[in-house]
Amino acid sequence: MHLKIVPRSGWISYRISKHDVEPVSSHSYSVATIALTISEIMRLRNQDVSVEKVVRMALLHDLPESLTFDISKAYLRYLGRSGSKLKTNLEWKAFKQILKGLDNRRLARIFLAALEEYSASRSVEARVVHCADALDLLLQVVEYERMGYSKATLDPIWNETRSKITCCGISLASEWSRELERVREKQGRRRRREC
């Protein structure tokens, strides 16, 4: 329930109004839907992927933020090199605290294994979820620009996110990323004509 009210605070660093910042729950749902779609298409193309594992990771990947809130990279810069490590440790402690609340130890181990696999990013399923996470971010950039937010302001997050997708090695995600680039360019041309 907390994820419904936790804002994706990193958007504030890109000058998105707090009234327009999406909640973590919306992001998580979108990631799960994108990850499900990618993994099902991969499966239909006879690629070896566990849709169940993908969906489990996608639904759990931001659950610690229900306790830690969304700690953006912009805030972590002030902590220097230790910032990312501090965030990771904090989120692991939060996730383990959440798992303690489960009455079923076996289920807790399944959830813990899923998040560990996601964090390690070695399996195809984990890479699918990382790509879905990035694709959702690109979709959100397109939406914010459609709402009137500056392309120049959002370019840094766009470029960083697109490079992450390339590194994951999921060809379908790369295709979708290129398509989103075309949508973004077309939207930008339309906005310039209207001005």
Residue 147 sits in a domain of what CATH number? 1.10.3210.10
User: Residue 134: which domain range?
Assistant: 2-194
Calpha distance 57→114 (Å, rounded): 6
Residue 78, pLDDT above cutoff 90: no
**Residues 45/108, Cβ–Cβ less than 8 Å:** no
For residue 11, the tally of other CB atoms under 10 A from its CB is 24
Number of residues that this document lists for the chain? 195
Bridge partners (DSSP) listed for residue 23: 7
Out of 6-15, 98-107, 123-132, 185-194, pick the least confident: 185-194
Out of 37-41, 43-47, 88-92, 148-152, pick the least confident: 88-92
Task: Give the pLDDT confidence score for residue 69 in this predicted structure.
Answer: 83
Q: What are phi and psi of 28, to 5 degrees?
A: -60, -40
Task: Give the pLDDT confidence score for residue 139 in this predicted structure.
Answer: 97
pLDDT digit string (tens) for 3-16? 898 989 889 888 99
Report the run of H or E that residue 100 belongs to, with start and end: helix 82-100
Calpha distance 157→97 (Å, rounded): 31
Whole-number Cα distances in Å, 149 to 19, 48, 134, 143, 154? 13, 40, 19, 9, 8
Domain count, the chain: 1
pLDDT digit string (tens) for 178-189? 999 999 999 988
Task: Give the pLDDT confidence score for residue 195 in this predicted structure.
Answer: 65
